[in-house]
Amino acid sequence: MKYCEQEKEKSLMAKKILIRPILYASKVEYMSLIPEGALQILQTVMEYGEKRGKNNQGWNESVEHHLNRIVLHIKAYRQNDKNEDHLGHIFARAMLANAINEKQKKTGIKIRK
């Protein structure tokens, strides 16, 4: 298979599983290590928060706040609580905490909420 055809096939496969290519140093890398469905779970949880009036509030909360909420979701999950998708919420909170932490490293601005 020619290089161009391989890249086209990778591109089609990426679109099929709703993953876009990321550019790293002029080279296209595909997020093939992310399990299928993981981004859909994240999107579902974020949309759930948005419907509850929490649009973009997660970005204004501290890393510590997200970690505390993760602990609450772990406890609820272990108690077999079915009111929310606790694993999905843990995933979303961990993503937000990580992204906020990285932003704080770059900017030096800490969120204390």
Bridge partner residues of 23 (DSSP): 28
Reported confidence tier of residue 111, pLDDT bands at 50, 70, 90: confident
pLDDT digits (tens, 9 = 90+) for 8-36: 555 544 444 444 555 555 455 556 677 88
Q: How many residues does the chain have?
A: 113
pLDDT digits (tens, 9 = 90+) for 60-81: 899 999 999 999 999 999 999 9
CA-to-CA dists, residue 80 to 43, 76, 77, angstroms: 23, 6, 5
Give the per-residue pLDDT at 18: 45
